[in-house]
């Protein structure tokens, strides 16, 4: 069991460019979560899928952020027209029951 896999581990984009982050949940886990971690804001919930269906995207900035889960083995978080304030570590987590969440190593996004 490799745990939750996130790629890339580091991404640097220029302001206005697009960034796509990938997450492969633990096999068999039906729930997938995306969070954002910054020093100032801490850990912020972004969105959540269960059985590939979007359940709650209340934490997603509406205009430039989108997330998909096209199949049970991966989810993507896309940020269009990246801004410096989007710089953060983006964490993906998966869960079998919805309780204990297993976090991936994160993708550190830096927007110049």
Partner 1 sequence: GEKVEQHESTLSVREGDSAVINCTYTDTASSYFPWYKQEAGKSLHFVIDIRSNVDRKQSQRLIVLLDKKAKRFSLHITATQPEDSAIYFCAARTNSAGNKLTFGIGTRVLVRP
Choice between 82 and 95, CB closer to partner 1: 95
Distance of CA 107 to the CA centre of its chain: 8
Q: Does 104 bind partner 1 (CB under 8 A)?
A: yes
Q: Does 98 bind partner 1 (CB under 8 A)?
A: yes
Of 68, 103, 108, 110, the one binding partner 1 by CB under 8 A: 103
Would you state the structure tokens that stand for residue 59, as one six-digit string? 């934490």
Q: Does 8 bind partner 1 (CB under 8 A)?
A: no
With b for 16 or more beta-carbon neighbours within 10 A and e for fewer, the 56-77 pattern comes to ebeebeeeebbbebeebebbeb
Of 33, 34, 65, 90, the one binding partner 1 by CB under 8 A: 33
């Amino acid at each position: 069991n490799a745990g939750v896999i996130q790629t890339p581990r580091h991404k640097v984009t220029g302001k206005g460019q697009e960034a796509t982050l990938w997450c492969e949940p633990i096999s068999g886990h039906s729930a997938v979560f995306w969070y954002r971690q910054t020093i100032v804001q801490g850990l912020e919930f972004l969105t959540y899928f269960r059985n590939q269906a979007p359940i709650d995207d209340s934490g997603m900035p509406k205009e430039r952020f989108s997330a998909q889960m096209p199949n049970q083995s991966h989810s993507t978080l896309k940020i269009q027209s990246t801004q410096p304030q989007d710089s953060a570590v983006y964490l993906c987590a998966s869960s079998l029951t919805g309780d204990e969440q297993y976090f991936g190593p994160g993708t550190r996004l830096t927007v110049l």
